[in-house]
Amino acid sequence: MSTPRFALIGHPVAHSLSPRIHAEFARQTGIAMEYGLIDATAERFDAALAEFAAAGGAGANVTLPHKARAATVCNHLSDRARRCGVVNTLIRTATGWDGDNTDGLGLVRDLTDRHGQDLRGRRVLLIGAGGVAHGVAPALLDAGISGLVIVNRTDSRTDALADLLGEPARVHPRNFTDLHTLGVFDLIINATSIGHASDGGELPLPNSLIAPRGDVVDLGYGEAAIGFLAWARACGADQLIDGLGMLVEQAAESFKCWHGVRPDADAIYAELRAESGSPAAMA
């Protein structure tokens, strides 16, 4: 009997830590699996997924730029995938693909369980309205935040995410040009490349956004998060958190979707954190 095959599909994916994370989960649980990387452009996504399925693919993680497209190829979406409109976890069934999204639960688990955050009643700024932002926004609302302000470079995408969430009393789409009028936030989450080396520009953010004892999260990790977290540190943020914890927590939830058991993410998190250093140290 062949070993079940899993993969991460995205573009690019060569840098991904997912194979290492899932190898640790497989070792920990004693579950046999292969986990590889599939680099596919947007134009190649459907064909690459079909080829993977034909070769015996049992499940996949989906990353940029395919999360929205992945939702459209599924026969069935979980409640949380339907609510956020994007998919990061595919499960092969006898009739095709089922879709789920574990990003939001992964983020909330990292913030609350690992970093001791109490999200209830907090005013949150979410920078970005792409696939990752879609994945985390519903979970933040479910965690009890008092308000979510979403800003993005493209107004139509910001409005679309706000409409999808369907909570006008708590969710407020805004433009970057509004930021200096929006007051301060207890938690700021960067779900874009702003502040990353690839973004190539100065941060288009006022220095007065962070409330006293306010915290900042960049959903990137490693070198990608250094610029944004350095800005946050200079602005007086309390906790500086990168996306490494979310990465391992969402992976653990995906593993549970495929195998019915949730592995312990702490060991691989500690290993990867020791190698990369703490966000505060990097900033």
Q: Where are the domains of the chain?
A: 5-101, 104-244
Whether residue 41 is annotated as binding a ligand: the answer is: no
d(CA 192, CA 118): 24
- Given a cut of 50, is residue 280 above it in pLDDT? no
**Residue 75 per-residue DSSP state:** S
Q: Would you place residue 201 in the very low, low, confident or very high pLDDT band (cuts 50, 70, 90)?
A: low
- Given a cut of 50, is residue 198 above it in pLDDT? yes
- Given a cut of 90, is residue 237 above it in pLDDT? yes
Question: Could you name the CATH architecture of 104-244?
Answer: 3-Layer(aba) Sandwich (3.40)
Q: What percent of the chain has pLDDT over 70?
A: 95
CA distance to 136, 251, 255, 281, per residue, from 102 (Å): 9, 8, 10, 28
- Given a cut of 70, is residue 155 above it in pLDDT? yes
Whether residue 132 is annotated as binding a ligand: the answer is: yes
User: Domain 5-101 falls in which CATH fold?
Assistant: Rossmann fold (3.40.50)
* Cβ atoms of residues 170 and 200 within 8 Å: no
Hey, what are 134's tokens?
A: 């879609």
What is the mean predicted confidence (pLDDT) over 41-47? Answer: 98
Hey, what are 116's tokens?
A: 């001791």
Phi-psi region of 12 (alpha: psi -120 to 50; beta: other; left: phi over 0): beta
Q: Which residues contact 236 (CB under 8 A, 6 or more apart)?
A: 210, 212
Report pLDDT for 16. Answer: 95
Per-residue pLDDT of 251-266, as tens digits, reads 999 999 999 999 999 9
What is the mean predicted confidence (pLDDT) over 59-65? Answer: 97
d(CA 111, CA 90): 25
Q: Which residues contact 260 (CB under 8 A, 6 or more apart)?
A: none
Buried-state track 223-259, b at ≥16 Cβ within 10 A, e below 16 = ebbbbbbbbbbebebebbbbbbbbbbbbbbbbbbbbb
Q: Can you tell me which residue has the tokens 């609350």? A: 112
Whether residue 28 is annotated as binding a ligand: the answer is: no
What is the mean predicted confidence (pLDDT) over 13-28? Answer: 97
Report pLDDT for 203. Answer: 74
What is the mean predicted confidence (pLDDT) over 31-60? Answer: 97
Report pLDDT for 281. Answer: 41
* Cβ atoms of residues 263 and 209 within 8 Å: no
- Angle at which helix 244-259 crosses helix 266-276, to 10 degrees, equals 150
Hey, what are 243's tokens?
A: 């996306």
Q: What angle do CA 216, 251, 114 make, to 5 degrees?
A: 40
Report pLDDT for 283. Answer: 34
Query: Catalytic site residue 67?
Result: yes
Cα–Cα nearest to 207, from 239, 174, 230: 230
Question: CA torsion sign, 264 to 270 to 276 to 281?
Answer: positive
Identical fold for domains 5-101 and 104-244, yes or no, is yes
Q: What percent of the chain has pLDDT over 90?
A: 90
Q: Would you place residue 109 in the very low, low, confident or very high pLDDT band (cuts 50, 70, 90)?
A: very high
d(CA 61, CA 12): 13
Report pLDDT for 282. Answer: 41
d(CA 259, CA 89): 13
Whether residue 101 is annotated as binding a ligand: the answer is: no
* pLDDT, mean over the chain: 94
Whether residue 164 is annotated as binding a ligand: the answer is: no
Whether residue 102 is annotated as binding a ligand: the answer is: no
Peptide bond into 65 cis (omega under 30): yes
Q: Would you place residue 120 in the very low, low, confident or very high pLDDT band (cuts 50, 70, 90)?
A: very high
Question: CA torsion sign, 239 to 119 to 100 to 174?
Answer: negative
d(CA 76, CA 97): 7
Phi-psi region of 152 (alpha: psi -120 to 50; beta: other; left: phi over 0): beta
Determine which one of 67, 114, 122, 123 is catalytic: 67
